[in-house]
Amino acid sequence: MRFFSVCRRKIGVLILICGIFSYLYVGSQVAETIGEDQTQQMNLEDRSDTDERQIGVSSAESEERPERNQSGVPQQEAKPAEGEEGGEGEGFGVLEPPGQVASRAEVPAKVGDVPHGSSRRKMSGAPSRDYEEKMIKALVKEAYLKVTGEGEDEEMQQSPAYALEVQPSSRNATPPNSNLVFFSAVPKCGSSTTGHLFKKLSVLNSFYSLTPQQRIQPVIDEEQQKTLLENLFSLSEKVPVAYTRHLYYFNTTKLGFPRASWVAIVRHPVERLISQFYYARIPSRYLENKLLQGRMPSAEFMNMTLDACVPQRDPRCWYREGSRQMLQLSFFCGQDSYCTTVGSRRALQMAKYNAENFYSAVGVLEDLHLSYRVLEKYLPRFFAHASVSDIGTGRVRFNSQENKPSVKNSTRLMMESYLREDLDLYHFLRQRLHLQVQAIESGKIDN
């Protein structure tokens, strides 16, 4: 009996030992299997993240590429809900401003967003030192951009064209022997008046005044720019040409052509938008203008006032920061997409740089007589006799609105809040104009 009892105890111990080893073996196999499954899941997530990033890049690229119509012309991003802002009359089409939505590529990333190319899995444990250093650098960069008001990317600090503060001067930027001038017509800034002046002076000064009959299209692609320049420079070899159009500035020498002269007229930004807002609500335009016939907006749109529209921050009158609009500074900034971004300091600096270096003169509607006087001296090939003509006196206006409703001061102040960059450029250009007047009076024009 004792022998059997001892055997039972030994057998029980052996079974217990075998059970423990079996448990450990099976447990290790299960853990290994779970580890493989987690690794596969992580790889799938990484692959999914990569696919998502590729799709995101493709969609961002597709958003940045403007759709084109059959003629190869980039179409506007979006149109207002109702009605269109109007051109300046004869020779000017219908103004259809770009849409309200900013390009994804130009919206700066906020601190705390998932970095491009990082995994979406949650991090466990304390953040690594590299992660902390990246966050600190991001916070420092964000604070720096807020303080300096610089643009959305590091390119702001690399290019002297818009990184350096530009100061107005009386310099004459007219190219020698220039036989081609672009009048970059900003809507509701006396474009019709200056257009009529060009036609009158073309007879006196023997040049050809050309104004295309087409819808307003301030942005044209590089191929269209080259085609336009080929035609204009070919014509200017026979007779000097003044080309009038609602067109954003572009550099002709970068396309392999000689420098052309550029001129423009600007206006106080708030007054310009007031005029543009009510010009779009003139009923006769939709009856007389062939481009607008049959497109009369609703009664609610036609009867809307700025004093009712602006306080409600209606997108038809309120420019949200980061949205896309046809700003006054857009005409000087150029053809790049950021030039239409509301609140862009980069666009402002580029507009100042181009105006100072490539525009013979930029007139101001509030000082129209002085503007024509400066244009006469700084670009005499086209503007000789301007200040002594009836239009050049500044007392004759075309396509002006005499009966605009009055606008409250509170409304004007609200409009100034989203037109800060346009206001900055306006005061810059007005100062430049008066410096040029002083140069004329002192006889120190740089010819």
Name the token pair of 74.
């980039």
Could you tell me which residue, 17 or 410, shows the higher pLDDT? 410
Tens digits of per-residue pLDDT, 391-405? 766 666 666 666 778
What's the number of CA atoms in the CB half-sphere (13 Å) around residue 191?
A: 25
- Contact between residue 348 and residue 151 where contact means Cβ atoms under 8 Å apart: no
- What pLDDT shows up at residue 400? 61
Q: Per-residue pLDDT averaged across 102-127, rounded?
A: 39
Exposed (0-12), middle (13-18) or buried (19+): which is 176, by Cβ within 10 Å?
exposed
- Contact between residue 222 and residue 298 where contact means Cβ atoms under 8 Å apart: no
Bridging pattern class, strands 85-86 and 208-210: unpaired
- What pLDDT shows up at residue 137? 55
CATH of the domain at 393: 3.40.50.300
Exposed (0-12), middle (13-18) or buried (19+): which is 183, by Cβ within 10 Å?
buried
Task: Write the DSSP assignment of 292-308 as a string of letters.
Answer: TTT----HHHHT--HHH
- Smallest Cα–Cα separation from 432: which of 355, 335, 319, 350? 355
Range of 337's domain?
A: 166-442
Give dist(CA 77, CA 129) in Å, integer.
43
Question: Is residue 295 very low, low, confident or very high in pLDDT (cuts 50, 70, 90)?
Answer: confident
In a domain, 58, yes or no: no
In a domain, 347, yes or no: yes
- What pLDDT shows up at residue 436? 97
Name the token pair of 122.
């949650």
Residue 410 has pLDDT above 60, yes or no: yes
In a domain, 193, yes or no: yes
Q: Per-residue pLDDT averaged across 52-79, rounded?
A: 37
Angle at 52 between CA 47 and CA 53, to 5 degrees: 100
- What pLDDT shows up at residue 134? 58
In a domain, 278, yes or no: yes
Q: Per-residue pLDDT averaged across 279-290, rounded?
A: 82
Give dist(CA 197, CA 389) in Å, integer.
8
Most confident of 70-84, 182-196, 200-214, 415-429: 415-429
- What pLDDT shows up at residue 150? 46
Alpha-helical runs (H) found in 215-268: 222-236
In a domain, 435, yes or no: yes
| 65-74, 170-179, 225-234, 337-346: the lowest-pLDDT one | 65-74
Tens digits of per-residue pLDDT, 183-240? 999 999 988 889 889 999 999 999 999 998 777 889 999 999 999 999 999 999 999 9
Exposed (0-12), middle (13-18) or buried (19+): which is 236, by Cβ within 10 Å?
buried
Element containing residue 265 per DSSP (H, E): strand 261-266
- What pLDDT shows up at residue 214? 72
Name the token pair of 416.
């100034």
Could you tell me which residue, 243 or 127, shows the higher pLDDT? 243
Task: Write the DSSP assignment of 356-388 as a string of letters.
Answer: HHHEEEEEEGGGHHHHHHHHHHH-HHHHTTTTT
- Smallest Cα–Cα separation from 342: which of 93, 107, 74, 86? 107
Tens digits of per-residue pLDDT, 24-64? 554 555 445 444 554 444 444 444 444 444 433 333 333 33
How much of the chain, in percent, has pLDDT values that exceed 70? 60
Residue 374 has pLDDT above 90, yes or no: yes
Q: How far is CA 362 from CA 32, 44, 396, 431, in A?
A: 76, 60, 19, 10
Helix, strand, coil in percent for the chain, rounding step 5: 50, 5, 45
Is the pTM of the predicted complex or chain greater than 0.85?
no
Tens digits of per-residue pLDDT, 300-349? 989 999 999 999 999 999 999 999 999 999 999 999 999 999 999 999 99
Q: How far is CA 48 from CA 36, 197, 379, in A?
A: 18, 63, 61
| 70-84, 161-175, 240-254, 356-370: the lowest-pLDDT one | 70-84
In a domain, 202, yes or no: yes
In a domain, 38, yes or no: no
Task: Write the DSSP assignment of 137-204 as a string of letters.
Answer: HHHHHHHHHHHH---SSGGGGT-HHHHSPP-------PPTT--EEEEE--TTSSHHHHHHHHHHHHHH
Element containing residue 328 per DSSP (H, E): none
Number of domains comprising the chain: 1
Residue 265 has pLDDT above 50, yes or no: yes
In a domain, 156, yes or no: no
- What pLDDT shows up at residue 388? 80
- Contact between residue 93 and residue 214 where contact means Cβ atoms under 8 Å apart: yes
Most confident of 66-80, 284-298, 401-415: 401-415
Q: Per-residue pLDDT averaged across 409-426, rounded?
A: 97
Query: Which residues make Cβ contacts (< 8 Å) with residue 346, sequence separation at least 6?
Result: 150, 151, 152, 156, 162, 338
What's the number of CA atoms in the CB half-sphere (13 Å) around residue 264?
A: 30
Angle at 231 between CA 190 and CA 93, to 5 degrees: 35
| 89-93, 220-224, 255-259, 261-265: the lowest-pLDDT one | 89-93
